[in-house]
């Protein structure tokens, strides 16, 4: 919502927002933009001069006091996905979709858009270090790159001219019945591509391959490109090498490697996807004075930008180091993301004991993927688990609890600890952590506060 507010603010729209009084990093961004935030959702706090109300899809307009009041007054009430869809319809639009990797890939695209001085805007689902901690970058109004979410088929409001599919796996199982159901949503999204549009997909992901090849067969007007180890052509990833603090790989037939300084081999795929998108945008909108796409100058600029890419908030975000312990926070909340992230961290920081604090998100996802979660956590040396972080979209039914995940994880791991409330683990973890450890908070819950608290405490204890 803050990212959307940034985009609309740049277009001259006057914005006022409502929120809870919980502090979050977006508060700083809104303050810098001069956007007033009302810390209340009461109906009488809806500004009289509001011409329209855009709301997060996390809220139900049938029960939310301000949304009900706006509807009573006849004001347009528009969900975030609908508003994003309206923006996309007004310009060339790039949709970044997939169960994993959307945020990092969109941020990489934004970094390349900025480096090549292309005339478009990029909207990312988290704060990006390369955008000064903001969630957007704006270099013009010729095109829009945005993350688009599959939950409840929200991405079907978007009007893509270019569509990137990073991967398709079972997720959001409080809404989707099964893998076939979620694939059908991606089928429909790919079919929304404009005539003559471009479809880019991860050739290493079976779900993405199935959907994109099926739609490509239906739509011969589309330009289709795969990326990854199993891809052919310009976006084939090969010769991946992992060293402490660096990942390098070759892309297509280019003999000069691309280098990244963010952890995880999966980021080679994210970078390949970003380059595939940027090639299409550079072809359509030019690349300043650098010459045609794939020219030596453009490729050199791409290498330079990716090497300097610093990631996004809560995606392997380094919080700091104190008392010999390195603290990292990551949003990974699906078994595949957990596994690939932990493997990447272990290779990026060799020799460190990996202590992982994980908080599962939503009862439905935890129940449906219980064994997959347990297996994915086996990549850690020590595992700490908590209660399940509930979503506003579902209620606890007694069927699954965080302790169930801990019990299942013990089938695959010898060192598993369960503490119901994250902040109650501060004391036990301070005794458990030792010099040389890498401590990682993971998940879409609020256990990130635990990492910050542990880091702050150790910083206070350090000698002056």
Same domain, 67 and 111: no
Taking 70 as the pLDDT cut, the residues of the chain under it are 173, 287-294, 312-313, 392-397, 464
Query: What SS3 state is found at 77?
Result: strand
Q: Is residue 54 part of a domain?
A: yes
**Residue 463 CB: number of other CB atoms within 10 A?**
3
Element (H, E) at 93: strand 92-97
Mean pLDDT rounded to a whole number for the chain = 90
At which of 308, 326, 361 does a domain end?
308
> Which residue is associated with the tokens 């003999």?
255
pLDDT digits (tens, 9 = 90+) for 311-339: 766 777 888 899 999 999 988 888 888 98
At which of 274, 308, 342 does a domain end?
308
Same domain, 355 and 298: no
Same domain, 233 and 126: yes
Q: Is residue 144 part of a domain?
A: yes
Same domain, 286 and 389: no
pLDDT score at 275: 96
| Tokens coding 206 | 């079976």
Rounded distance, CA 104 to CA 147, Å? 10
CATH number, position 299: 3.40.1190.10
What is the model's pTM? 0.80
CATH number, position 431: 3.90.190.20
Q: Is residue 57 part of a domain?
A: yes
Q: Is residue 281 part of a domain?
A: yes
Same domain, 286 and 333: no
Rounded distance, CA 236 to CA 244, Å? 24
Q: Is residue 382 part of a domain?
A: yes
Same domain, 276 and 340: no
CATH number, position 28: 3.40.50.720
Same domain, 217 and 240: yes
Same domain, 250 and 381: no
Same domain, 227 and 98: yes
Same domain, 64 and 108: no
Same domain, 454 and 374: yes
Domain housing 434: 317-461
Domains of the chain: total: 3
Alpha-carbon 109 to chain mean position: 13
Q: Dmax over Cα atoms in the chain, in whole Å?
A: 67
Q: Is residue 422 part of a domain?
A: yes
pLDDT score at 396: 65
pLDDT score at 291: 56
Q: Is residue 86 part of a domain?
A: no
Rounded distance, CA 331 to CA 359, Å? 10
Rounded distance, CA 86 to CA 90, Å? 7
At which of 278, 308, 338 does a domain end?
308
Q: Is residue 26 part of a domain?
A: yes
Same domain, 270 and 195: yes
Rounded distance, CA 354 to CA 39, Å? 39
pLDDT score at 394: 65
């Amino acid at each position: 919502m803050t990212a959307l507010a940034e985009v609309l603010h740049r277009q001259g729209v006057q914005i006022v927002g409502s929120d809870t009084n919980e502090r979050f990093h977006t508060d700083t961004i809104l303050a810098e933009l001069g956007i007033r935030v009302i810390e209340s959702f009461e109906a009488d706090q809806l500004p009289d001069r509001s011409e329209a109300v855009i709301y997060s899809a996390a809220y139900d307009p049938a029960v939310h006091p301000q949304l009900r009041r706006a509807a009573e007054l006849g004001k347009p009430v528009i969900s975030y996905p609908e508003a994003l869809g309206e923006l996309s319809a007004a310009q060339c639009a790039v949709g970044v979709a997939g169960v994993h990797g959307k945020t990092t890939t969109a941020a990489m695209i934004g970094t390349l858009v900025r480096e090549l001085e292309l005339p478009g805007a990029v909207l990312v689902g988290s704060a990006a270090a390369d955008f000064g901690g903001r969630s957007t970058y704006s270099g013009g109004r010729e095109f829009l790159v945005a993350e688009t979410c599959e939950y409840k088929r929200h991405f079907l409001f978007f009007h893509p001219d270019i569509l990137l599919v990073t991967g398709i796996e079972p997720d959001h199982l409080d809404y989707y019945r099964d893998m076939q159901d979620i694939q059908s949503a991606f089928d429909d999204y790919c079919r929304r591509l404009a005539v003559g549009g471009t479809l880019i997909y991860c050739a290493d992901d079976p779900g993405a391959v199935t959907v994109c090849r099926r739609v490509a067969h239906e739509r011969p007007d589309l330009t289709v490109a795969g990326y990854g180890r199993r891809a052919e052509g310009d976006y084939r990833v090969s010769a991946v090498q992992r060293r402490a603090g660096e990942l390098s790989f070759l892309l297509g037939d280019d003999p000069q490697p691309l280098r990244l300084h963010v952890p995880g081999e999966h980021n080679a795929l994210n970078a390949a996807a970003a380059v595939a998108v940027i090639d299409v945008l550079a072809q359509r909108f030019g690349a300043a004075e650098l010459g045609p796409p794939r020219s030596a100058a453009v490729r050199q600029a791409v290498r330079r930008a990716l090497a300097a890419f610093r990631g996004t908030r809560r995606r392997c975000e380094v919080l700091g180091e104190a008392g010999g312990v390195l603290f990292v926070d990551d949003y990974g909340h699906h078994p595949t993301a957990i596994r690939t992230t932990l493997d990447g961290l272990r290779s990026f920081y060799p020799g460190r004991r990996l202590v992982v604090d994980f908080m599962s998100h939503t009862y439905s996802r935890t129940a449906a993927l219980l064994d997959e979660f347990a297996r994915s956590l086996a990549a850690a040396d020590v595992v700490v688990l908590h209660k399940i972080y509930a979503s506003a979209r579902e209620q606890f039914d007694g069927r699954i609890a965080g302790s169930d995940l801990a019990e299942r994880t013990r089938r695959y791991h010898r060192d598993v600890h369960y503490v119901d409330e994250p902040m109650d683990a501060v004391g036990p973890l301070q005794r458990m952590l030792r010099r040389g450890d890498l401590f990682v908070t993971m998940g879409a819950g609020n256990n990130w506060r635990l990492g910050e608290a542990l880091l702050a405490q150790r910083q206070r204890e350090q000698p002056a």
